[in-house]
Amino acid sequence: MRRSMLGRLAVAACSLSLLTAFAPATGADGGASAAGPGSGRAYKKVGYFTQWGVYGRDFQVQDLDANGSAGKLTHINYAFGNVSAEGRCFTGNVPGEADAWADYARPLDAANSVDGVADTWDQPLAGNFNQLRELKAKHPGLKVLISLGGWSWSTHFSDAALTPASRKAFVESCIDLYIKGNLPQDGTRGGAGAAAGVFDGIDLDWEWPGSAGDTDTKYRPEDKRNFTELVREFRTQLDAYARSQKRAKYELTAFVPTAPAKIDAGFDVRRIMRDLDFVNLQGYDFHVSGEPRTAQQSALYARGDFSVHGTVEAWQRRGAPAHKLVMGMPFYGQGWTGVSGGGDGLGQPATGPAPATWAAGYEDYKALKKLAESGAYQVHRDRRGGHAWLFDGTTLWTYDDPQVLRAKTGYIREHGLGGAMFWSLDADTADGELMTAVDRGLRGR
């Protein structure tokens, strides 16, 4: 979104087609041994950290340490890096396009710093990037990837991937900016190598090659071939740079869709899976609050509808190995109001998206938990389908709670998948309730 949820949901409200559009493990090194002693494997646990969450939500990198999530994660995907009209990775202070202030210029005080030390005016790296570096120092097994694109910032991906020359230049610019850490000078911040060592790889979040995404996102029939070649170019250049640094590797991942039509339009599955360490499957936004009827947004099973199981099967049928499939899970809910028709509210007409804290129809789990505990809403469950919703007779929220996540982590273990991914970490409770549920579930506890 920028995978900015605000931008995405605004489009969703006016287009039913978005239910197929969005949403957004095991590489050679396996990540941190997060599955624990006796588990027999290390599952990926990938959480998206939103650049803009440090503002209104006041969710800082340090909060991941304070709530225990950092010790449970194997990967943090930093959302997002943008692609310019010239087909280059870039940053700066451009409203709606880039936020260097949040990324690496904003000073943090001691109370909001992972290491408990306030930033100084003259250090080259501050902001989220510096805090991520400090978080990695405290949790040595943790990896951080820069996620490129998202719903609102996939605008220029198709142009960037169009030719061998454009792909080469695009990849070089991303590696230079994020992997080598050569940041633009911003007062005393930035400079050559300022962010070196912060990022351990790149996550491609192009939404979507070969089919419609956000209103201004260009797409072409040849995107499928070009995305395959872009993945190959990233793999080639990342591996070459890793060798030059005497490093085992830099990881390369992608966020990929649920809808079979979108998979077939943009993804040569067998070929891209050779170069990607793993993919994060869209496991949410199967239905969104802009639709005229209430529905599940993240069911594990759903006959005749989108589901997590259906997404896994779609990717496996096209040649993706199970151990490279990481299941996406929502740490938020989709909501409708003006629901009529009685019953438990599901599948009923609604007048529009439900009022919410940040954007109509979209609410963080931590807020939905309070609704569930208030007594005003009843919790409903489809135990066979593996999903839950809240309904008060007028307003309905479909969401994942710890009980749903236990079922999903059981599925991951049973089907030999690579792990779990979550959008987004700032939506969890102050004590990391959902992160803990996923961690325990993947450990079989």
- Tell me what pLDDT residue 415 has: 98
- Tell me what pLDDT residue 39 has: 42
Evaluate if pTM is beyond 0.85: yes
Any idea of the CA torsion for 313, 317, 323, 329, to the nearest 10 degrees?
-30
User: Do 1 and 7 form a contact (C-beta atoms < 8 A)?
Assistant: yes
**Regarding beta strands 93-94 and 98-99, do their DSSP bridges make them parallel or antiparallel, or are they unpaired?**
antiparallel
Model confidence pLDDT, tens digit, residues 118-138: 999 999 999 999 999 999 999
Taking the C-alpha atoms of residue 89 and residue 146, their distance in angstroms, rounded to an integer, is 11
Domain that holds residue 241: 5-330+401-442
- Tell me what pLDDT residue 9 has: 38
The answer to whether residue 283 is domain-embedded is yes
Q: Dihedral sign, CA of 96, 290, 295, 286?
A: negative
- Tell me what pLDDT residue 3 has: 39
The answer to whether residue 411 is domain-embedded is yes
- Tell me what pLDDT residue 204 has: 99
The answer to whether residue 373 is domain-embedded is no
Tally of domains in the chain: 1
User: Do 137 and 117 form a contact (C-beta atoms < 8 A)?
Assistant: no
- Tell me what pLDDT residue 324 has: 98
> Which of these is catalytic: 207, 233, 251, 363?
207
- Tell me what pLDDT residue 199 has: 98
CATH number of the domain that 69 lies in?
3.20.20.80
Taking the C-alpha atoms of residue 328 and residue 306, their distance in angstroms, rounded to an integer, is 13
Q: Is 134 considered catalytic here?
A: no
The answer to whether residue 383 is domain-embedded is no
The answer to whether residue 41 is domain-embedded is yes
Stretches where the chain sits below pLDDT 70 are 1-41
Model confidence pLDDT, tens digit, residues 200-213: 999 999 999 999 99
The answer to whether residue 189 is domain-embedded is yes
The answer to whether residue 379 is domain-embedded is no
The answer to whether residue 282 is domain-embedded is yes
